[in-house]
Amino acid sequence: MTLKTHSGSCHCGAVRFTADVDIAEGTIKCNCSSCTKARSWLLFVPADRFHLVTDSASQATYQWTPPGRIEPTIQFHFCKICGIRTPGRGELQAMGGAFYAVQVPLLDDIDPEELAAAPTQYVDGRHDRFDQQPSDIRFL
């Protein structure tokens, strides 16, 4: 694994972060209701490899509790100025504990060739089967 620190930001730049990732490990597209509606293209980053550079006060938070759960599994974050979804924080045992869901398009310094060469994994988050591909990936 070759980690590289990438810088990222929302549209207006009020929210900035860094994340240590290995793009060659691939990206993720999920079919849960939130990811589907947002057309999310993600990198899951362990919490210890994510750093918010700006003050968290520049973000709004949304939490949703999926059916069958007793509490939310992820905190969705948005820039208070431009409204762009910024990395969300979650904690799921199936995901290895605490993590950040980083939208790939937020990365400001990503090499397009490196990104194009990276595999994309499709996960069935709608049914909490993060180790399986959904039966239909055409719209992810």
Q: What is the DSSP string of 68-83?
A: T-SS-SEEEEEETTT-
* pLDDT for 59: 97
pTM for this predicted structure: 0.89
Instruction: Return the pLDDT at 111.
Output: 93
pLDDT at residue 81 in the model: 97
Task: Tell me what pLDDT residue 110 has.
Answer: 92
| 98, 47 Cβ separation under 8 angstroms | yes
What residues does each domain of the chain span? 4-125
The 10s digit of each residue's pLDDT in 21-32 is 999 999 999 998
The fold of 4-125 is 2.170.150
Instruction: Order the strands of the 59-63 sheet from edge to edge.
Output: 59-63, 74-79, 85-92, 97-103, 42-46, 27-30, 120-123
Rounded average pLDDT per 10-residue block, the chain, 140 residues = 95 98 95 92 96 96 86 91 96 85 96 95 88 93
CB-facing half-sphere around the CA of 69: CA atoms within 13 A: 13
